[in-house]
Chain A
Amino acid sequence: MAAKITVRNLTMAYGDQVVMHDLDFEIQDKDIFVIMGGSGCGKSTLLRHLIGLREPAKGSILYEGKDFTATAPDERGPFFQRFGVMYQSSALWSSLTLAENISMPVEESCKLPPKTVRDLAAYKLALVGLSGYEDFYPAQISGGMKKRAGIARAMALDPDILFLDEPSSGLDPLSSRRLDDLILGLRDSQGSTIVIVTHELASIFNIANNALFLDTATHTQGALGPPCELRDHSYNPAVRLFLNRGDTPKTSS
Protein backbone atom coordinates (compact mmCIF):
# COMPACT_ATOMS: atom_id res chain seq x y z
CA MET A 1 0.00 0.00 0.00
CA ALA A 2 1.30 3.44 -0.90
CA ALA A 3 2.52 5.71 1.89
CA LYS A 4 0.19 8.47 3.03
CA ILE A 5 2.62 11.12 1.80
CA THR A 6 5.60 10.48 -0.45
CA VAL A 7 8.14 13.20 -1.19
CA ARG A 8 10.51 12.43 -4.04
CA ASN A 9 13.66 14.43 -4.83
CA LEU A 10 12.00 17.64 -3.76
CA THR A 11 13.96 20.82 -4.34
CA MET A 12 12.59 24.04 -2.88
CA ALA A 13 13.81 27.42 -4.06
CA TYR A 14 13.02 31.12 -3.90
CA GLY A 15 14.02 32.27 -7.37
CA ASP A 16 17.64 31.20 -7.85
CA GLN A 17 18.23 30.59 -4.15
CA VAL A 18 17.85 26.90 -3.30
CA VAL A 19 16.45 26.43 0.20
CA MET A 20 16.61 22.60 0.33
CA HIS A 21 17.37 20.04 -2.33
CA ASP A 22 16.75 16.35 -2.92
CA LEU A 23 14.38 15.77 -0.02
CA ASP A 24 13.24 12.18 -0.13
CA PHE A 25 10.96 10.72 2.53
CA GLU A 26 7.66 9.00 3.22
CA ILE A 27 5.04 9.59 5.89
CA GLN A 28 2.97 6.57 6.83
CA ASP A 29 -0.71 6.47 7.77
CA LYS A 30 -1.40 7.63 11.37
CA ASP A 31 2.16 8.84 11.77
CA ILE A 32 2.94 11.88 13.88
CA PHE A 33 5.73 13.17 11.71
CA VAL A 34 7.85 16.10 12.81
CA ILE A 35 9.79 18.37 10.48
CA MET A 36 12.55 19.92 12.54
CA GLY A 37 15.67 22.01 12.11
CA GLY A 38 17.18 25.33 13.06
CA SER A 39 15.43 28.65 12.55
CA GLY A 40 15.22 29.64 8.90
CA CYS A 41 16.18 26.20 7.58
CA GLY A 42 13.01 25.88 5.48
CA LYS A 43 10.64 23.88 7.71
CA SER A 44 7.64 26.10 7.07
CA THR A 45 8.60 26.35 3.40
CA LEU A 46 8.49 22.55 3.18
CA LEU A 47 5.06 22.59 4.82
CA ARG A 48 3.86 25.18 2.30
CA HIS A 49 5.05 22.87 -0.49
CA LEU A 50 3.21 19.93 1.05
CA ILE A 51 -0.08 21.86 1.12
CA GLY A 52 0.34 23.38 -2.32
CA LEU A 53 0.98 27.00 -1.36
CA ARG A 54 4.35 26.85 -3.12
CA GLU A 55 5.38 24.90 -6.17
CA PRO A 56 8.58 22.84 -6.04
CA ALA A 57 11.53 23.76 -8.22
CA LYS A 58 12.01 20.03 -8.82
CA GLY A 59 10.61 16.74 -7.58
CA SER A 60 7.15 15.61 -6.61
CA ILE A 61 4.75 15.11 -3.72
CA LEU A 62 2.29 12.22 -3.76
CA TYR A 63 -0.69 11.54 -1.51
CA GLU A 64 -1.46 7.81 -1.35
CA GLY A 65 0.29 7.44 -4.68
CA LYS A 66 -1.58 10.30 -6.41
CA ASP A 67 0.72 12.98 -7.71
CA PHE A 68 -0.25 16.25 -6.03
CA THR A 69 2.39 18.38 -7.75
CA ALA A 70 1.34 17.17 -11.21
CA THR A 71 -2.28 18.18 -10.54
CA ALA A 72 -3.25 21.63 -11.80
CA PRO A 73 -3.83 24.06 -8.91
CA ASP A 74 -7.51 24.52 -9.76
CA GLU A 75 -8.06 20.75 -9.73
CA ARG A 76 -6.61 20.15 -6.28
CA GLY A 77 -9.97 20.45 -4.52
CA PRO A 78 -10.18 16.72 -3.63
CA PHE A 79 -6.72 16.93 -2.03
CA PHE A 80 -7.63 20.09 -0.08
CA GLN A 81 -10.75 18.36 1.26
CA ARG A 82 -8.44 15.91 3.03
CA PHE A 83 -6.10 18.55 4.50
CA GLY A 84 -6.45 20.44 7.72
CA VAL A 85 -3.90 23.17 8.24
CA MET A 86 -3.03 25.16 11.34
CA TYR A 87 -0.76 28.08 10.54
CA GLN A 88 2.03 29.50 12.67
CA SER A 89 -0.02 32.64 13.31
CA SER A 90 -3.22 30.57 13.63
CA ALA A 91 -4.56 32.62 10.66
CA LEU A 92 -8.08 32.70 12.05
CA TRP A 93 -10.32 34.92 9.93
CA SER A 94 -10.39 37.99 12.09
CA SER A 95 -13.79 39.28 10.98
CA LEU A 96 -15.52 36.03 11.99
CA THR A 97 -16.23 34.56 15.42
CA LEU A 98 -14.56 31.30 16.43
CA ALA A 99 -17.74 29.37 15.60
CA GLU A 100 -18.00 31.10 12.22
CA ASN A 101 -14.34 30.30 11.52
CA ILE A 102 -15.22 26.63 11.79
CA SER A 103 -18.69 26.86 10.23
CA MET A 104 -17.58 28.63 7.06
CA PRO A 105 -15.62 25.73 5.52
CA VAL A 106 -18.41 23.34 6.57
CA GLU A 107 -21.15 25.52 5.05
CA GLU A 108 -19.22 25.95 1.84
CA SER A 109 -18.37 22.28 1.42
CA CYS A 110 -21.69 20.64 2.26
CA LYS A 111 -25.35 21.50 2.68
CA LEU A 112 -26.31 21.10 6.32
CA PRO A 113 -28.98 22.85 8.39
CA PRO A 114 -27.57 25.93 10.21
CA LYS A 115 -28.23 24.34 13.64
CA THR A 116 -26.20 21.25 12.70
CA VAL A 117 -23.33 23.42 11.46
CA ARG A 118 -23.41 25.41 14.67
CA ASP A 119 -23.42 22.20 16.77
CA LEU A 120 -20.51 20.91 14.72
CA ALA A 121 -18.54 24.09 15.38
CA ALA A 122 -19.32 23.91 19.11
CA TYR A 123 -18.16 20.26 19.15
CA LYS A 124 -14.85 21.10 17.44
CA LEU A 125 -14.25 23.94 19.88
CA ALA A 126 -15.10 21.64 22.79
CA LEU A 127 -12.52 19.13 21.52
CA VAL A 128 -9.80 21.74 21.94
CA GLY A 129 -11.14 22.95 25.28
CA LEU A 130 -12.81 26.12 24.02
CA SER A 131 -16.43 25.45 24.97
CA GLY A 132 -18.30 28.68 25.54
CA TYR A 133 -16.02 30.71 23.28
CA GLU A 134 -18.13 30.22 20.15
CA ASP A 135 -19.09 33.88 19.84
CA PHE A 136 -15.68 35.32 20.65
CA TYR A 137 -13.64 36.99 17.93
CA PRO A 138 -9.96 35.98 17.49
CA ALA A 139 -8.85 39.37 18.83
CA GLN A 140 -10.66 38.64 22.11
CA ILE A 141 -8.77 35.46 23.05
CA SER A 142 -5.19 34.68 24.14
CA GLY A 143 -2.39 33.36 21.93
CA GLY A 144 -2.71 29.82 23.30
CA MET A 145 -6.45 29.84 22.70
CA LYS A 146 -5.90 31.05 19.16
CA LYS A 147 -3.59 28.09 18.55
CA ARG A 148 -6.25 25.71 19.83
CA ALA A 149 -8.97 27.46 17.81
CA GLY A 150 -6.65 27.13 14.79
CA ILE A 151 -6.50 23.37 15.37
CA ALA A 152 -10.29 23.24 15.78
CA ARG A 153 -10.70 24.99 12.43
CA ALA A 154 -8.12 22.71 10.83
CA MET A 155 -10.28 19.76 11.95
CA ALA A 156 -13.47 21.36 10.62
CA LEU A 157 -13.82 18.99 7.66
CA ASP A 158 -12.55 15.90 9.51
CA PRO A 159 -9.32 15.81 7.50
CA ASP A 160 -7.26 12.68 7.42
CA ILE A 161 -4.03 14.65 7.25
CA LEU A 162 -3.43 17.46 9.71
CA PHE A 163 -0.59 19.93 9.13
CA LEU A 164 0.47 21.99 12.14
CA ASP A 165 2.99 24.80 11.79
CA GLU A 166 4.75 25.43 15.11
CA PRO A 167 1.68 24.66 17.23
CA SER A 168 3.40 25.11 20.58
CA SER A 169 5.58 28.13 19.87
CA GLY A 170 5.01 30.91 22.36
CA LEU A 171 3.00 28.72 24.73
CA ASP A 172 3.74 28.14 28.41
CA PRO A 173 4.89 24.59 29.33
CA LEU A 174 1.48 23.51 30.61
CA SER A 175 -0.42 24.76 27.54
CA SER A 176 2.25 23.19 25.35
CA ARG A 177 1.83 19.86 27.14
CA ARG A 178 -1.96 20.10 26.80
CA LEU A 179 -1.57 20.71 23.09
CA ASP A 180 0.69 17.63 22.81
CA ASP A 181 -1.99 15.54 24.54
CA LEU A 182 -4.57 16.96 22.17
CA ILE A 183 -2.47 16.02 19.13
CA LEU A 184 -1.95 12.48 20.44
CA GLY A 185 -5.68 12.24 21.19
CA LEU A 186 -6.57 13.34 17.66
CA ARG A 187 -4.27 10.76 16.13
CA ASP A 188 -5.61 7.98 18.37
CA SER A 189 -9.31 8.84 18.20
CA GLN A 190 -9.65 10.18 14.66
CA GLY A 191 -6.85 8.20 13.07
CA SER A 192 -5.40 11.33 11.49
CA THR A 193 -1.92 11.49 10.04
CA ILE A 194 -0.28 14.53 11.59
CA VAL A 195 2.63 16.50 10.15
CA ILE A 196 4.11 19.03 12.55
CA VAL A 197 6.72 21.71 11.99
CA THR A 198 8.42 22.44 15.27
CA HIS A 199 11.70 22.80 17.07
CA GLU A 200 10.26 22.29 20.55
CA LEU A 201 12.31 19.32 21.72
CA ALA A 202 9.96 18.36 24.55
CA SER A 203 7.07 18.09 22.07
CA ILE A 204 9.18 16.21 19.55
CA PHE A 205 10.13 13.49 22.03
CA ASN A 206 6.66 13.43 23.52
CA ILE A 207 4.55 12.93 20.44
CA ALA A 208 6.53 12.20 17.27
CA ASN A 209 7.11 8.71 16.02
CA ASN A 210 9.13 9.89 13.05
CA ALA A 211 11.10 13.02 12.34
CA LEU A 212 12.90 14.68 9.49
CA PHE A 213 15.84 16.96 10.23
CA LEU A 214 16.57 19.71 7.72
CA ASP A 215 20.27 20.56 7.73
CA THR A 216 21.01 24.23 7.09
CA ALA A 217 24.68 23.52 6.41
CA THR A 218 24.13 21.10 3.55
CA HIS A 219 20.67 22.38 2.46
CA THR A 220 19.32 18.87 2.42
CA GLN A 221 17.75 16.38 4.78
CA GLY A 222 20.15 15.68 7.65
CA ALA A 223 18.39 12.62 9.06
CA LEU A 224 15.14 10.69 9.08
CA GLY A 225 13.80 8.39 11.77
CA PRO A 226 12.33 8.17 15.26
CA PRO A 227 13.51 11.19 17.31
CA CYS A 228 14.97 9.22 20.25
CA GLU A 229 16.94 7.05 17.86
CA LEU A 230 18.22 10.10 16.00
CA ARG A 231 19.24 11.76 19.26
CA ASP A 232 21.31 8.80 20.39
CA HIS A 233 22.49 7.13 17.23
CA SER A 234 22.29 9.50 14.27
CA TYR A 235 25.35 9.42 12.04
CA ASN A 236 24.95 13.18 11.64
CA PRO A 237 26.55 15.14 14.52
CA ALA A 238 24.40 18.21 13.70
CA VAL A 239 21.28 16.13 14.37
CA ARG A 240 22.62 14.78 17.67
CA LEU A 241 23.69 18.28 18.68
CA PHE A 242 20.24 19.67 17.83
CA LEU A 243 18.35 16.95 19.67
CA ASN A 244 20.63 17.24 22.70
CA ARG A 245 20.10 21.02 22.88
CA GLY A 246 23.71 21.69 22.00
CA ASP A 247 25.11 19.52 24.82
CA THR A 248 27.94 17.19 23.88
CA PRO A 249 26.05 14.46 22.07
CA LYS A 250 26.47 10.79 22.76
CA THR A 251 28.69 9.12 20.20
CA SER A 252 27.05 7.16 17.47
CA SER A 253 27.28 3.42 17.90
Chain B
Amino acid sequence: MILAGDWLREGPAVSVTGTAPDRAPSRYQTEALSAHDSLLPAFILAHLRTLKSADSAQAPAPMDGLPENLRGLLQLALAVPEEGGAPTDVRSVSKLEKLGNLTLSACQGCSALVEFAGQTVLSLGRFVRRRARFRRSDFWMTLQQCGVEALPIVSLISFLIGLILAFVGNVQLANFGANLYVADLVGIAMVREMGVVMTAIIMSGRTGAAFAAHIGSMKANEEIDALRTFGFDPFDFLVLPRLLALVLMMPLLTVYANIVGILGGMLVGSFVGIPPVLYWAETVASLTMTTASLGVMKSVFFGAAIAISGCMQGMQAGNSSAAVGEATTRAVVTAITTVIVLDSAFAAIFTLLNI
Protein backbone atom coordinates (compact mmCIF):
# COMPACT_ATOMS: atom_id res chain seq x y z
CA MET B 1 0.00 0.00 0.00
CA ILE B 2 1.46 3.33 -1.04
CA LEU B 3 0.77 6.28 1.21
CA ALA B 4 1.70 9.64 -0.28
CA GLY B 5 1.16 13.37 0.11
CA ASP B 6 -0.56 15.26 2.92
CA TRP B 7 -3.06 13.54 5.23
CA LEU B 8 -4.45 16.49 7.12
CA ARG B 9 -7.95 17.16 8.45
CA GLU B 10 -7.86 20.72 7.22
CA GLY B 11 -6.08 20.01 3.91
CA PRO B 12 -7.59 18.93 0.59
CA ALA B 13 -9.66 15.74 0.59
CA VAL B 14 -7.62 12.53 0.51
CA SER B 15 -8.13 10.40 -2.60
CA VAL B 16 -7.84 6.63 -2.62
CA THR B 17 -6.96 5.16 -6.00
CA GLY B 18 -7.13 1.51 -7.01
CA THR B 19 -9.09 -1.16 -5.14
CA ALA B 20 -8.41 -1.73 -1.49
CA PRO B 21 -6.56 -5.04 -0.93
CA ASP B 22 -8.62 -7.81 0.66
CA ARG B 23 -5.81 -8.68 3.08
CA ALA B 24 -3.42 -6.65 5.17
CA PRO B 25 -0.61 -5.18 3.03
CA SER B 26 2.72 -6.89 3.61
CA ARG B 27 4.47 -3.54 3.50
CA TYR B 28 3.56 0.15 3.41
CA GLN B 29 5.45 2.52 1.13
CA THR B 30 5.69 5.89 2.78
CA GLU B 31 8.59 7.53 0.95
CA ALA B 32 6.28 10.11 -0.66
CA LEU B 33 4.33 10.71 2.57
CA SER B 34 4.62 14.28 3.87
CA ALA B 35 2.58 15.86 6.66
CA HIS B 36 -0.07 13.80 8.44
CA ASP B 37 -2.29 13.95 11.48
CA SER B 38 -4.87 11.52 12.97
CA LEU B 39 -6.48 11.16 9.54
CA LEU B 40 -3.80 8.68 8.40
CA PRO B 41 -3.83 6.26 11.38
CA ALA B 42 -7.66 6.45 11.35
CA PHE B 43 -7.67 5.37 7.68
CA ILE B 44 -5.23 2.49 8.28
CA LEU B 45 -7.10 1.32 11.39
CA ALA B 46 -10.45 1.38 9.56
CA HIS B 47 -8.91 -0.67 6.74
CA LEU B 48 -7.37 -3.20 9.14
CA ARG B 49 -10.67 -3.52 11.05
CA THR B 50 -12.51 -4.25 7.78
CA LEU B 51 -10.05 -7.03 7.07
CA LYS B 52 -10.25 -8.36 10.62
CA SER B 53 -14.00 -8.65 10.49
CA ALA B 54 -13.63 -10.82 7.38
CA ASP B 55 -10.67 -12.78 8.70
CA SER B 56 -11.37 -14.62 11.92
CA ALA B 57 -7.72 -15.55 12.40
CA GLN B 58 -6.97 -11.96 13.44
CA ALA B 59 -3.22 -12.21 12.90
CA PRO B 60 -1.22 -9.22 14.13
CA ALA B 61 -1.25 -6.55 11.44
CA PRO B 62 2.13 -6.03 9.73
CA MET B 63 3.29 -2.42 9.97
CA ASP B 64 6.51 -2.55 8.01
CA GLY B 65 7.37 0.68 6.32
CA LEU B 66 5.26 2.89 8.57
CA PRO B 67 7.00 5.71 10.46
CA GLU B 68 7.85 4.86 14.08
CA ASN B 69 5.31 7.24 15.67
CA LEU B 70 2.52 5.97 13.43
CA ARG B 71 3.36 2.39 14.29
CA GLY B 72 3.20 3.23 18.00
CA LEU B 73 -0.20 4.88 17.64
CA LEU B 74 -1.61 1.96 15.66
CA GLN B 75 -0.27 -0.56 18.17
CA LEU B 76 -2.03 1.41 20.91
CA ALA B 77 -5.27 1.46 18.95
CA LEU B 78 -5.07 -2.28 18.23
CA ALA B 79 -3.99 -3.26 21.76
CA VAL B 80 -7.58 -3.66 23.00
CA PRO B 81 -9.85 -5.73 20.74
CA GLU B 82 -13.13 -4.31 19.59
CA GLU B 83 -16.02 -4.90 22.01
CA GLY B 84 -17.64 -8.15 20.87
CA GLY B 85 -21.16 -7.30 21.95
CA ALA B 86 -21.18 -3.81 20.45
CA PRO B 87 -23.68 -3.42 17.62
CA THR B 88 -21.89 -3.13 14.30
CA ASP B 89 -24.85 -2.46 12.09
CA VAL B 90 -28.02 -0.49 12.60
CA ARG B 91 -30.98 -2.61 11.55
CA SER B 92 -33.43 -0.79 9.34
CA VAL B 93 -36.93 -0.56 10.79
CA SER B 94 -39.95 -0.86 8.53
CA LYS B 95 -42.80 1.68 8.67
CA LEU B 96 -45.13 -0.97 10.06
CA GLU B 97 -42.66 -1.78 12.83
CA LYS B 98 -42.30 1.93 13.60
CA LEU B 99 -46.08 2.22 13.85
CA GLY B 100 -46.15 -0.82 16.13
CA ASN B 101 -43.41 0.65 18.32
CA LEU B 102 -45.28 3.97 18.52
CA THR B 103 -48.50 2.19 19.49
CA LEU B 104 -46.70 0.15 22.16
CA SER B 105 -45.02 3.26 23.49
CA ALA B 106 -48.38 5.10 23.63
CA CYS B 107 -49.91 2.15 25.50
CA GLN B 108 -47.00 2.11 27.95
CA GLY B 109 -47.44 5.87 28.43
CA CYS B 110 -51.15 5.40 29.20
CA SER B 111 -50.48 2.54 31.59
CA ALA B 112 -47.77 4.63 33.35
CA LEU B 113 -50.26 7.50 33.70
CA VAL B 114 -52.92 5.21 35.16
CA GLU B 115 -50.36 3.68 37.54
CA PHE B 116 -49.21 7.12 38.63
CA ALA B 117 -52.79 8.28 39.15
CA GLY B 118 -53.39 5.14 41.24
CA GLN B 119 -50.33 5.87 43.35
CA THR B 120 -51.58 9.44 43.79
CA VAL B 121 -54.90 8.16 45.12
CA LEU B 122 -53.12 5.74 47.48
CA SER B 123 -50.85 8.51 48.68
CA LEU B 124 -53.84 10.81 49.27
CA GLY B 125 -55.45 7.95 51.19
CA ARG B 126 -52.36 7.71 53.42
CA PHE B 127 -52.46 11.49 53.86
CA VAL B 128 -56.10 11.41 54.96
CA ARG B 129 -55.30 8.59 57.42
CA ARG B 130 -52.28 10.65 58.61
CA ARG B 131 -49.89 7.93 57.53
CA ALA B 132 -48.15 9.86 54.77
CA ARG B 133 -44.71 11.12 55.79
CA PHE B 134 -43.38 14.31 54.23
CA ARG B 135 -41.63 17.39 55.53
CA ARG B 136 -44.08 20.11 56.45
CA SER B 137 -41.42 22.68 55.54
CA ASP B 138 -41.36 21.27 51.97
CA PHE B 139 -45.10 21.79 51.74
CA TRP B 140 -44.94 25.41 52.92
CA MET B 141 -42.02 26.09 50.59
CA THR B 142 -43.91 24.64 47.61
CA LEU B 143 -46.99 26.61 48.63
CA GLN B 144 -44.93 29.79 48.49
CA GLN B 145 -43.30 28.83 45.19
CA CYS B 146 -46.56 28.10 43.41
CA GLY B 147 -48.51 30.83 45.17
CA VAL B 148 -46.93 34.12 46.14
CA GLU B 149 -43.97 33.77 43.78
CA ALA B 150 -46.30 33.21 40.82
CA LEU B 151 -48.25 36.43 41.43
CA PRO B 152 -46.14 38.79 39.28
CA ILE B 153 -46.42 36.70 36.10
CA VAL B 154 -50.10 35.86 36.73
CA SER B 155 -50.79 39.58 37.28
CA LEU B 156 -49.06 40.64 34.07
CA ILE B 157 -50.65 38.01 31.83
CA SER B 158 -54.16 38.36 33.29
CA PHE B 159 -54.05 42.15 33.10
CA LEU B 160 -52.99 41.98 29.44
CA ILE B 161 -55.65 39.38 28.62
CA GLY B 162 -58.33 41.61 30.18
CA LEU B 163 -56.93 44.54 28.21
CA ILE B 164 -56.94 42.62 24.90
CA LEU B 165 -60.48 41.28 25.42
CA ALA B 166 -61.72 44.79 26.14
CA PHE B 167 -60.00 46.31 23.12
CA VAL B 168 -61.30 43.65 20.72
CA GLY B 169 -64.79 43.67 22.28
CA ASN B 170 -65.03 47.43 22.22
CA VAL B 171 -64.27 47.60 18.48
CA GLN B 172 -67.14 45.24 17.69
CA LEU B 173 -69.64 46.47 20.28
CA ALA B 174 -69.08 50.13 19.33
CA ASN B 175 -70.68 49.32 15.94
CA PHE B 176 -73.96 48.74 17.80
CA GLY B 177 -73.47 51.52 20.33
CA ALA B 178 -73.19 48.90 23.07
CA ASN B 179 -69.75 49.79 24.48
CA LEU B 180 -70.93 49.28 28.03
CA TYR B 181 -71.29 45.54 27.37
CA VAL B 182 -67.51 45.36 27.15
CA ALA B 183 -67.69 44.96 30.93
CA ASP B 184 -69.99 41.91 30.55
CA LEU B 185 -67.78 40.42 27.87
CA VAL B 186 -64.55 40.80 29.84
CA GLY B 187 -66.13 39.72 33.14
CA ILE B 188 -67.77 36.57 31.83
CA ALA B 189 -64.84 35.59 29.60
CA MET B 190 -62.30 36.04 32.41
CA VAL B 191 -64.33 34.32 35.09
CA ARG B 192 -65.52 31.37 33.01
CA GLU B 193 -62.55 30.64 30.79
CA MET B 194 -59.65 32.99 30.33
CA GLY B 195 -58.69 33.52 33.98
CA VAL B 196 -58.47 29.84 34.83
CA VAL B 197 -57.04 28.66 31.49
CA MET B 198 -54.34 31.32 31.36
CA THR B 199 -53.40 30.67 34.99
CA ALA B 200 -53.22 26.94 34.25
CA ILE B 201 -51.00 27.54 31.22
CA ILE B 202 -48.72 29.84 33.23
CA MET B 203 -48.50 27.31 36.05
CA SER B 204 -47.80 24.48 33.56
CA GLY B 205 -44.82 26.34 32.16
CA ARG B 206 -43.65 27.68 35.48
CA THR B 207 -44.49 25.25 38.24
CA GLY B 208 -45.12 22.00 36.31
CA ALA B 209 -41.74 22.38 34.61
CA ALA B 210 -40.06 23.18 37.93
CA PHE B 211 -41.58 20.05 39.52
CA ALA B 212 -40.33 17.86 36.66
CA ALA B 213 -36.86 19.42 36.65
CA HIS B 214 -36.44 19.23 40.42
CA ILE B 215 -37.64 15.65 40.78
CA GLY B 216 -35.82 14.61 37.58
CA SER B 217 -32.49 15.98 38.85
CA MET B 218 -33.06 14.29 42.18
CA LYS B 219 -33.53 11.03 40.31
CA ALA B 220 -30.41 11.56 38.19
CA ASN B 221 -28.37 12.26 41.36
CA GLU B 222 -29.68 9.13 43.13
CA GLU B 223 -31.37 11.38 45.73
CA ILE B 224 -34.64 9.49 45.29
CA ASP B 225 -32.83 6.18 45.86
CA ALA B 226 -31.41 7.69 49.03
CA LEU B 227 -34.95 8.48 50.20
CA ARG B 228 -36.02 4.89 49.49
CA THR B 229 -33.15 3.37 51.45
CA PHE B 230 -34.09 5.45 54.49
CA GLY B 231 -37.53 3.88 54.22
CA PHE B 232 -39.27 7.03 52.94
CA ASP B 233 -41.87 6.68 50.22
CA PRO B 234 -40.66 9.06 47.48
CA PHE B 235 -44.24 9.45 46.34
CA ASP B 236 -45.38 10.76 49.73
CA PHE B 237 -42.24 12.80 50.13
CA LEU B 238 -42.06 14.48 46.74
CA VAL B 239 -45.39 14.21 44.93
CA LEU B 240 -47.89 14.69 47.74
CA PRO B 241 -46.72 18.12 49.02
CA ARG B 242 -46.52 19.44 45.46
CA LEU B 243 -49.95 18.11 44.54
CA LEU B 244 -51.57 19.51 47.68
CA ALA B 245 -49.85 22.87 47.31
CA LEU B 246 -50.88 23.35 43.69
CA VAL B 247 -54.45 22.15 44.24
CA LEU B 248 -54.75 24.66 47.11
CA MET B 249 -53.12 27.54 45.26
CA MET B 250 -54.77 27.22 41.84
CA PRO B 251 -58.25 28.41 42.96
CA LEU B 252 -56.72 31.40 44.79
CA LEU B 253 -54.58 32.31 41.78
CA THR B 254 -57.62 31.96 39.52
CA VAL B 255 -59.71 34.34 41.61
CA TYR B 256 -56.80 36.77 41.64
CA ALA B 257 -56.33 36.45 37.85
CA ASN B 258 -60.05 37.07 37.30
CA ILE B 259 -59.94 40.29 39.33
CA VAL B 260 -56.77 41.55 37.65
CA GLY B 261 -58.20 40.73 34.19
CA ILE B 262 -61.38 42.67 34.99
CA LEU B 263 -59.22 45.61 36.13
CA GLY B 264 -57.39 45.45 32.77
CA GLY B 265 -60.74 45.65 30.98
CA MET B 266 -61.73 48.52 33.26
CA LEU B 267 -58.64 50.48 32.22
CA VAL B 268 -59.60 50.14 28.54
CA GLY B 269 -63.20 51.03 29.46
CA SER B 270 -62.06 54.27 31.07
CA PHE B 271 -60.25 55.17 27.82
CA VAL B 272 -63.36 54.58 25.71
CA GLY B 273 -65.65 56.58 27.97
CA ILE B 274 -67.02 54.02 30.46
CA PRO B 275 -66.55 55.35 34.00
CA PRO B 276 -64.93 52.76 36.31
CA VAL B 277 -67.88 52.80 38.73
CA LEU B 278 -70.32 52.05 35.91
CA TYR B 279 -67.96 49.41 34.47
CA TRP B 280 -67.73 47.69 37.87
CA ALA B 281 -71.49 47.80 38.41
CA GLU B 282 -72.08 46.30 34.95
CA THR B 283 -69.52 43.56 35.62
CA VAL B 284 -71.11 42.65 38.96
CA ALA B 285 -74.57 42.63 37.39
CA SER B 286 -73.45 40.29 34.61
CA LEU B 287 -71.86 37.70 36.89
CA THR B 288 -73.90 35.15 38.78
CA MET B 289 -72.51 33.03 41.60
CA THR B 290 -72.67 29.97 39.33
CA THR B 291 -70.67 31.67 36.58
CA ALA B 292 -68.12 32.94 39.09
CA SER B 293 -67.63 29.51 40.63
CA LEU B 294 -67.20 27.61 37.35
CA GLY B 295 -63.64 28.75 36.74
CA VAL B 296 -62.66 28.24 40.36
CA MET B 297 -64.07 24.72 40.31
CA LYS B 298 -62.16 23.89 37.12
CA SER B 299 -58.95 25.27 38.62
CA VAL B 300 -58.84 22.46 41.22
CA PHE B 301 -58.78 19.84 38.44
CA PHE B 302 -56.28 21.83 36.39
CA GLY B 303 -54.00 22.17 39.42
CA ALA B 304 -54.10 18.42 40.01
CA ALA B 305 -53.41 17.74 36.31
CA ILE B 306 -50.40 20.09 36.25
CA ALA B 307 -48.92 18.68 39.46
CA ILE B 308 -49.41 15.08 38.34
CA SER B 309 -47.90 15.77 34.89
CA GLY B 310 -44.86 17.53 36.34
CA CYS B 311 -44.21 15.01 39.10
CA MET B 312 -44.87 12.00 36.87
CA GLN B 313 -42.42 13.15 34.20
CA GLY B 314 -39.85 13.92 36.90
CA MET B 315 -40.21 10.50 38.54
CA GLN B 316 -39.98 8.77 35.16
CA ALA B 317 -36.98 10.77 33.92
CA GLY B 318 -33.80 8.97 32.95
CA ASN B 319 -30.53 9.26 34.81
CA SER B 320 -28.86 11.99 32.76
CA SER B 321 -29.05 15.75 32.44
CA ALA B 322 -30.43 15.40 28.89
CA ALA B 323 -33.20 13.16 30.24
CA VAL B 324 -34.11 15.82 32.82
CA GLY B 325 -34.47 18.36 30.00
CA GLU B 326 -36.68 15.97 28.03
CA ALA B 327 -38.79 15.27 31.12
CA THR B 328 -39.30 18.99 31.67
CA THR B 329 -40.43 19.52 28.08
CA ARG B 330 -42.77 16.53 28.29
CA ALA B 331 -44.19 17.83 31.59
CA VAL B 332 -45.12 21.18 30.07
CA VAL B 333 -46.59 19.67 26.90
CA THR B 334 -48.57 17.05 28.84
CA ALA B 335 -49.86 19.60 31.35
CA ILE B 336 -51.03 22.12 28.73
CA THR B 337 -52.61 19.40 26.59
CA THR B 338 -54.39 17.92 29.62
CA VAL B 339 -55.65 21.34 30.69
CA ILE B 340 -57.09 22.06 27.24
CA VAL B 341 -58.67 18.59 26.96
CA LEU B 342 -60.19 18.93 30.44
CA ASP B 343 -61.47 22.41 29.61
CA SER B 344 -63.15 21.11 26.45
CA ALA B 345 -64.76 18.34 28.47
CA PHE B 346 -66.00 20.87 31.04
CA ALA B 347 -67.36 23.10 28.25
CA ALA B 348 -69.33 20.17 26.83
CA ILE B 349 -70.64 19.15 30.27
CA PHE B 350 -71.67 22.72 31.18
CA THR B 351 -73.44 23.10 27.85
CA LEU B 352 -75.34 19.85 28.43
CA LEU B 353 -76.26 21.01 31.92
CA ASN B 354 -77.24 24.39 30.52
CA ILE B 355 -74.95 26.24 32.94
Contact = CB atoms under 8 A, between A and B. Distances in A.
Interface of A: 48, 51-53, 76-77, 80-81, 83, 85, 87-89, 91-94, 104-105, 108-109, 153, 156-157
Nearest to B138: A95
B231 A80 contact: yes
Contact of A80 (B135, B217, B229): B229
Contacts of B229: 51-53, 80, 83, 85
A77 B232 CA distance: 9
B230 A89 contact: no
Contacts of A89: 221-222
A153 B230 CA distance: 10
A80 B133 CA distance: 16
B223 interface: yes
A88 B319 CA distance: 13
Contacts of B133: 108
Contacts of A87: 222, 225-226
Interface of B: 133, 135, 217-218, 221-223, 225-226, 228-232
Contacts of A52: 228-229
A50 to B, nearest CB: 10
The 7 closest A-B pairs by CB, nearest first: A91-B222, A80-B231, A91-B226, A87-B222, A85-B229, A105-B230, A77-B231
Contacts of B232: 105, 108
Nearest to B230: A105
A64 to B, nearest CB: 18
A20 B1 CA distance: 46
Contacts of B217: 94
A160 to B, nearest CB: 14
A91 B230 contact: no
Given A52-B229, A85-B226, 6 more contacts: A77-B231, A80-B228, A91-B223, A93-B218, A93-B223, A105-B230
Given A85-B226, A104-B135, A108-B133, A91 B221 contact: yes
Contacts of B231: 76-77, 80-81, 109
A53 B225 contact: yes
Nearest to B134: A108
A248 B153 CA distance: 68
A148 B222 CA distance: 16
Contacts of A105: 230, 232
B225 A91 contact: yes
Nearest to B85: A17
A239 B77 CA distance: 25
17 contacts: A51-B229, A53-B228, A76-B231, A77-B231, A80-B229, A81-B231, A85-B225, A85-B229, A89-B222, A92-B226, A93-B226, A104-B135, A105-B230, A105-B232, A108-B232, A109-B231, A153-B226
Nearest to A74: B233
Contacts of B230: 80, 104-105, 108-109, 156-157
A52 B221 CA distance: 18
A53 to B, nearest CB: 6
A76 to B, nearest CB: 8
